[in-house]
Amino acid sequence: MTNLSELTTLHVGGPAQVIVRAKSEEELIAAVAAADEAGTNLLIIGGGSNLLVGDAGFNGTVIVVETTGNSYEIDACSGGMLQVAAGVNWDEFVAFTIEKNLANLESLSGIPGTVGGAPIQNIGAYGHEVSEVIARVRTYDREAKAIRTFTADQCEFGYRDSIFKRHSDRYVILDVTFHLRRGEFSLPIKYKELADALGVEIDAKVATEDLRKAVLALRERKGMLFGNTHQNWSAGSFFVNPFVSAEVALTLPANAPRWPQADGTIKTSAAWLMENAGVTKGEQINGAKISDNHVLALTNAGDATAEDIVQLARSARARVQEKFGITLIPEVRFVGIEL
């Protein structure tokens, strides 16, 4: 029996009753429909890079999306439209677009997982989000038992959020269509650390290939790439950055990061709150460890259980709650275990 620890980047999680590897769209829809028909619990997995599965495993069918293939049209004026299967590896796709002289995905280099996983939490990094370039998302709607295509505005994208995340048991993502700009220059750089690494000012544009290299180097240093060392055995950032009211923001120390939002709320930094509430890099509960490189990443130091990871997350969350009165919300999806 396969343990879900073999299918998740945190490398924790007990067994699944049945595991199906869907290599084609037909296989994927057939496996989903069969499980739904039989009334079986269903868990869809892409790269397993945003999942915390409990030690008891999953009581039902796990479908691993391994569909491949893409079709694309590139036009000198309107740019590229690329329709990409959900199972394609995200970072291989980003590298492919840069090779084809297509821009706008370079900041999202090095994020683990699949193309199908990307719209779910509207992946983002270094000042950009995937929703900026998504034209359409094709899904299998388990309720209607039919294919349903969402245009970008129907996806209800928000910060680490989408309609697919909010209805995670309804839509199976089959493929995603991206609209990319033709060009060798990146989007304006919005992130100081990245601008500094490239020796340019904020808002500068550089060659997409150079930006990709700089992002991969920064991510490598923080253990934020897919990899086989224990520093990479994580689910990336464990908590999302909190949005607080202007009144709550006023209660934070003057040096706390504050990013005012259009709706009047203030976004602050989960990493800053953790560090200033006494959560330290390298601290450990059994096999669960705060990354040595990045306080927001909870890692598996080798023999962690899902329960260890949850205990460490609870401890970090409680310290932030006590010091700042802010409850951190996980970015990671929990299956069969609760925070």
Residue 184, phi then psi, degrees to nearest 5: -100, -5
Report strand pairing: 58-65 vs 16-22. parallel
* Using rule CB under 6 A, residue 50 touches ligand FAD: yes
Stretch that binds ligand FAD, among 167-175, 176-184, 254-262, 299-307 (CB under 6 A): 167-175
Residue 77, phi then psi, degrees to nearest 5: -90, -55
Which is the catalytic residue, given 25, 49, 129, 160? 160
Report strand pairing: 333-335 vs 234-237. unpaired
First-to-final CA distance of the chain: 27
* Using rule CB under 6 A, residue 84 touches ligand FAD: no
* Using rule CB under 6 A, residue 15 touches ligand FAD: no
CA dihedral angle for residue 196, residue 197, residue 200, residue 203, rounded to 10 degrees? -80
Which is the catalytic residue, given 209, 220, 307, 331? 331
* Using rule CB under 6 A, residue 336 touches ligand FAD: no
Active site residue 142: no
d(CA 70, CA 144): 26
Q: How far is the CB of 243 from ligand FAD (least distance, A)?
A: 16
Spell out the alpha helix ranges (H) of the chain.
25-38, 90-99, 163-166, 192-198, 208-221, 246-251, 270-276, 306-324
183, 94 Cβ separation under 8 angstroms:
no
Pick between residue 130 and residue 252 the one whose CB is nearest to ligand FAD. 130
Pick between residue 79 and residue 223 the one whose CB is nearest to ligand FAD. 223
* Using rule CB under 6 A, residue 304 touches ligand FAD: no
* Using rule CB under 6 A, residue 310 touches ligand FAD: no
* Using rule CB under 6 A, residue 5 touches ligand FAD: no
- Contacts with ligand FAD by CB under 6 A: the residue count is 32
Pick between residue 79 and residue 110 the one whose CB is nearest to ligand FAD. 110
d(CA 326, CA 267): 12
d(CA 149, CA 174): 10
* Using rule CB under 6 A, residue 54 touches ligand FAD: no
d(CA 95, CA 79): 17
Q: Where are the beta strands (DSSP E) in 86-237?
A: 102-103, 124-125, 128-129, 134-141, 146-151, 171-182, 234-237
Pick between residue 15 and residue 116 the one whose CB is nearest to ligand FAD. 116
d(CA 261, CA 283): 33
Active site residue 237: yes
* Using rule CB under 6 A, residue 131 touches ligand FAD: no
**Contact string 89-128 vs ligand FAD (x = CB under 6 A):** ----------------------xxxx-xxx-xx-xxx---
* Using rule CB under 6 A, residue 136 touches ligand FAD: no
* Using rule CB under 6 A, residue 306 touches ligand FAD: no
Active site residue 162: no
Query: Binding residues for ligand FAD, per CB under 6 A?
Result: 9, 44-51, 65, 86, 111-114, 116-118, 120-121, 123-125, 168, 172-173, 224, 232, 234-236, 333
Catalytic residue set = 160, 237, 331
